[in-house]
Amino acid sequence: MERFSPAKVNLGLSVLGRRADGYHQLHTLFAALDVGDRITLEPIPQGIELRVLGADLPSGPANLAYQAARDYLEAAGNPGGVRIVLEKHLPIAAGLGGGSGNAATVLLGLRQFYPAPVDLLPLARNLGADVAFFLRGGLAEARGIGELLSPLEPLQVPLVLVNPGLAVSAAEAYQAMKPDDYSPELPVASILAALKRGEEPGWWNSLEAPVFRLRPELAELKATLRAFGLRGVLMSGSGSTFFALASDLAQAQHLAARLRERFPRFWIRPAQTA
């Protein structure tokens, strides 16, 4: 069985403050994309075999895809094993939710192989705050640490994705936050209305300030992308991927081609919210 494992972007991300448990309270819009990784699943008598292609990632318990397989099989009563081939196309530690999407894709695939009365949502939340979103995909408003989801009507938004090849740790980004970096809730209704009109929304990402302090070159890259003429440039998650608006998929492809000429070593893709 081959399955597509989508990426996501945050169409705005507000960090409201720090909770008593040490985590940060978030308000964001998750949007799944039509770009991502590929995962092949094959049932085997027992055990978990994971092979990763296209990236230097662990193939054992340190990998979220492996953890997802382990947790589902245990919850289902160990009905068999699985061989997983993970073909990575997304950059690592890029703010695109690649690992979380991989974990959710494995959970959904194993439920097909080994049907059992297992609630996937608790398993997903235990694996990571973003994993729960990928069980459904589409567009969703998220609160808490990202695990409290309210599905929204799908919205197709053409984008250009730009990643400079610089890995950014989400943990480092949150640790670098200062009280002045906290922001109010996102104006979700106005963001969605602007996107439907093809206009640049008044969105923001509270993690840009701390990440830019850690990696000043990313602040310079955002300014360069704006000067390049891109609209609505915003960092996704804790970075280092930026995305920008396009009027349609043809323009997204055109902009991506121009950006590749300007930044030949960057990972650059046209994309659309799914």
Strand pairing category for 242-245 and 267-272: unpaired
Is 130 an annotated catalytic residue?
A: yes
The helix (run of H) or strand (run of E) holding residue 121 is helix 120-127
Q: Give 98's contacts (C-beta < 8 A, 6+ positions apart).
A: 5, 7, 36, 37, 88, 90, 91, 92
Give yes or no for a contact between 166 and 222, defined as CB atoms under 8 angstroms apart.
no
Determine the Cα–Cα distance for residues 86 and 38; give it in Å rounded to an integer. Answer: 6
Selecting among 71, 88, 130, 222, the annotated active-site residue is 130
- Give residue for tokens 């340190």: 62
- Buried-exposed string 127-152: b where 16+ CB fall within 10 A, e elsewhere: bbbbbbbbbebbbbbbbebbbebeee
At 267, list the tokens: 């990972």
Is 248 an annotated catalytic residue?
A: no
Selecting among 8, 37, 88, 222, the annotated active-site residue is 8
Query: Helix or strand or coil: residue 11?
Result: strand
Give yes or no for a contact between 113 and 81, defined as CB atoms under 8 angstroms apart.
no
Determine the Cα–Cα distance for residues 91 and 98; give it in Å rounded to an integer. Answer: 8
Determine the Cα–Cα distance for residues 271 and 253; give it in Å rounded to an integer. Answer: 8
Residues assigned a catalytic role: 8, 130
